[in-house]
């Protein structure tokens, strides 16, 4: 039952609970409304109770005074009568009832001979002007009146009408002594408090309407005051949001309050300083990018000359000595590496400047992986295995850049794989496609994995490069993955090798996806709760690019 109640209330309370946690204004208004409502409720109950008690006490005192006056008038009438036979006593009893009705403010009169007295045939019978009064007289009230001390007794009762209606009332009882041997009679006078109940209901309705109006007025007042009080905070939040969105000229307006104006001045000074620093950094970044681009372009001319000279020397190397031939060979290799480094620097400068153009086309990543592996297999001392678990469906990518990513990952695995097998796994799901390159080489420490995509960074600086990398391959590979909306991740552990995973979304409309391949290999022992073991949700990185489609 509790679970069902939770399920039923969750759609209603869930959004309110989330809003409650996020909105200080909602919490302030709700708490103020609850406190105000409680105070109004307590005040209303107190006022209503006081009025009810006062009305009831007033009507009770009036009833007792009225009953005492009517009882004295009736007893004087009895004392003045000389009736002794049945007929006279019956007429006297009827006259007494009329006197009570004329003297009192009530027409409900019940005259009853007290029980327990000796039988007297001449005594007039009991009579009541209303059946509901006779039914309202309780045994406790009858015994109290029969005791005779004090002379008056009253009791709160409920009158039941012939139509089934109910109304509150008071019955006052006293004793009348008839002449001769008729004995004593109980006189009950009923007072209907329906008019008092109507007055009390009117007061209650008036209090409810007044409380509702006050709650509405206080709610509107609290809402207006909250809007006024929180307006500077909203202005600061809006200005900070605009600054975060790139509007460097956004400033916080004054709020006509000395404290908030001081906050505005400080905030605007901070924004001015931040804008100046951003402009300065942008200028320095632009100069750096221009420097790298200009240097790369300027170096191409002498490098071309050196490469031509190297080719000439290599063409005539047969007539040179062994040492000279080795020098010519090293010169050619370094010239090729220099050209590769210049190409990578130009590519990095394009990414830094945001001038990247994707030439997308439908590509089969399984075929692409096979092509890369077939080209690099001669450089590896061991087998490079391709395991296509999925990913046969074409996906819109820049094949040249994805081929460069896979080639870089497989090349690194060859260089650091210690001659052990390398596995390239491809798999896909409805939202993404993934390629993982696994080796069982030297591996890296966790602190090294954090820097593996940094430019010119090496986990083992003293280790000799076997494939002649430039130190920019993984940095460019990460940028290539990011411009496709994908993510390139790395896992490594000393002595257990490394695993690099590339995950690409299947379309531009996909903003979050789960990789079909785990980042931590299945053959590695790890905690079951590790999100890398099964693959957590990935969010597509934002990147402004221009795409060209073939």
Please tell me the predicted confidence (pLDDT) of residue 325.
73
**350 and 382 housed in the same domain:** no
**342 and 385 housed in the same domain:** no
Determine, yes or no, domain membership for 244.
Answer: no
Determine, yes or no, domain membership for 10.
Answer: no
CATH of the domain at 407: 3.30.565.10
Determine, yes or no, domain membership for 38.
Answer: yes
Looking at 355, 388, 403, the residue that finishes a domain is 355
Percent of the chain with pLDDT over 90: 16
Residue (of 516, 514, 519) closest to 538 by Cα position: 514
**429 and 491 housed in the same domain:** yes
Tens-digit pLDDT profile for residues 450-477: 888 887 776 655 455 555 556 778 888 8
Instruction: Report how far residue 34's alpha carbon sits from residue 26's, in angstroms, rounded to the nearest whole number.
Output: 12
The total number of structural domains that make up the chain: 3
Determine, yes or no, domain membership for 428.
Answer: yes
**295 and 434 housed in the same domain:** no
CATH of the domain at 150: 3.30.450.20
**303 and 395 housed in the same domain:** no
CATH of the domain at 325: 1.10.287.130
Please tell me the predicted confidence (pLDDT) of residue 545.
52
**346 and 444 housed in the same domain:** no
**349 and 363 housed in the same domain:** no
Q: How far is CA 270 from CA 8, 117, 233, 263, 474, in A?
A: 49, 104, 17, 10, 37
**Contact residues for 464 (Cβ-Cβ < 8 A; gap 6+):** none
Question: Is the bond preceding residue 189 a cis peptide, omega within 30 degrees?
Answer: no
Burial of 17 (0-12, 13-18, 19+ CB in 10 A): exposed
**519 and 397 housed in the same domain:** yes
Please, are residues 82 and 90 in contact by the beta-carbon 8 Å criterion? Answer: no
**34 and 178 housed in the same domain:** yes
Report the predicted TM-score, pTM, of the whole model to 2 decimal places: 0.50
**413 and 476 housed in the same domain:** yes
**134 and 217 housed in the same domain:** yes
Domain extent at residue 213: 19-235
Determine, yes or no, domain membership for 137.
Answer: yes
Determine, yes or no, domain membership for 493.
Answer: yes
Quote the crossing angle between the two packed helices 322-353 and 473-483, to the nearest 10°.
Answer: 30
What does residue 399 show for φ and ψ, rounded to 5 degrees?
A: -60, -35
> What are the tokens at 146?
């029969």
Please tell me the predicted confidence (pLDDT) of residue 533.
46
B/e letters for 22-55, b = 16+ CB within 10 Å, e = fewer, are eeeeeeebeebeeebeeebeeebeeebeeebeeb
DSSP 470: -
Determine, yes or no, domain membership for 246.
Answer: no
What torsion, rounded to 10 degrees, do the Cα atoms 513, 518, 520, 524 define?
160
Q: How far is CA 389 from CA 237, 376, 433, 503, 517, in A?
A: 49, 21, 11, 14, 10
Please tell me the predicted confidence (pLDDT) of residue 6.
47
Determine, yes or no, domain membership for 14.
Answer: no
Residues lower than pLDDT 50 in the chain: 3, 5-6, 462, 528-534
**321 and 381 housed in the same domain:** no
Please tell me the predicted confidence (pLDDT) of residue 460.
58
Query: Residue 251 half-sphere exposure, CB side, CA atoms within 13 Å?
Result: 14
Please tell me the predicted confidence (pLDDT) of residue 534.
44
Looking at 211, 235, 259, the residue that finishes a domain is 235
Looking at 339, 355, 371, the residue that finishes a domain is 355
Please, are residues 282 and 346 in contact by the beta-carbon 8 Å criterion? Answer: no
């Amino acid at each position: 039952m509790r679970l069902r109640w939770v399920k039923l209330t969750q759609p209603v309370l869930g959004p309110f609970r989330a809003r409650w946690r996020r909105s200080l204004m909602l919490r302030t208004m709700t708490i103020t409304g609850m406190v105000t409502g409680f105070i109004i409720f307590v005040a209303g109950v107190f006022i209503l109770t006081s009025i009810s008690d006062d009305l009831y006490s007033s009507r009770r005192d009036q009833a007792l005074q009225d009953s005492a006056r009517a009882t004295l008038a009736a007893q004087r009438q009895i004392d003045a009568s000389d009736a002794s036979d049945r007929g006279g006593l019956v007429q006297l009893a009827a006259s007494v009832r009329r006197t009570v009705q004329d003297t009192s403010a009530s027409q409900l009169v019940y005259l009853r001979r007290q029980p327990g007295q000796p039988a007297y045939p001449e005594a007039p019978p009991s009579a009541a002007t209303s059946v509901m009064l006779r039914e309202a007289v309780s045994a406790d009230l009858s015994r109290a009146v029969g005791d005779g001390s004090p002379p008056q007794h009253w009791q709160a009762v409920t009158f039941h009408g012939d139509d089934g209606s109910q109304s509150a009332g008071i019955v006052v009882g006293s004793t009348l002594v008839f002449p001769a041997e008729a004995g004593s009679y109980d006189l009950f006078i009923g007072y209907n408090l329906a008019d008092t109940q109507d007055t009390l209901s009117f007061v209650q309705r008036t209090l409810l309407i007044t409380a509702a109006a006050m709650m509405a007025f206080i709610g509107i007042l609290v809402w207006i005051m909250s809007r006024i009080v929180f307006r500077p905070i909203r202005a600061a939040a809006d200005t900070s949001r605009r600054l975060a969105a790139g509007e460097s000229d956004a400033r916080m307006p004054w709020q006509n309050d000395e404290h908030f104006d001081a906050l505005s001045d400080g905030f605007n000074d901070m924004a001015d300083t931040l804008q100046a620093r951003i402009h300065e950094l942008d200028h320095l970044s632009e100069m750096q990018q221009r420097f790298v681009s200009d240097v790369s372009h300027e170096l191409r001319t002498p490098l071309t000359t050196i490469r031509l000279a190297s080719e000439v020397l290599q063409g005539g190397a047969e007539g040179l000595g062994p040492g000279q031939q080795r020098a010519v060979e090293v010169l050619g290799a370094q010239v090729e590496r220099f050209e590769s480094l210049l190409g990578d620097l130009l590519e990095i400068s394009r990414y830094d400047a945001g001038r990247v153009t994707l030439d997308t086309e439908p590509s089969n990543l399984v075929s692409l992986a096979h092509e890369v592996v077939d080209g690099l297999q001669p450089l590896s001392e061991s087998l490079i295995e391709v395991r296509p678990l999925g990913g046969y469906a074409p996906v819109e990518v820049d094949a040249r850049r994805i081929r460069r990513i896979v080639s870089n990952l497989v090349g690194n695995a060859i260089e650091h794989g210690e001659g052990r097998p390398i596995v390239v796994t491809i798999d896909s799901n409805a939202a993404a496609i993934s390629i993982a390159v696994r080796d069982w080489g030297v591996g890296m420490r966790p602190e090294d994995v954090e820097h593996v995509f940094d430019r010119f960074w090496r986990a083992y600086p003293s280790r000799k490069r076997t494939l002649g990398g430039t130190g920019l391959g993984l940095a460019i590979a990460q940028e290539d993955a990011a411009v496709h909306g994908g993510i390139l991740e790395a896992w490594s552990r000393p002595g257990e090798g490394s695993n690099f995973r590339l995950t690409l979304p299947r379309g531009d409309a996909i903003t979050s996806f789960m990789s079909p391949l785990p980042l931590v290999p299945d053959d590695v022992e790890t905690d079951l709760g590790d999100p890398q073991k099964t693959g957590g949700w990935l969010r597509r990185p934002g990147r402004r690019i221009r795409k060209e489609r073939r």
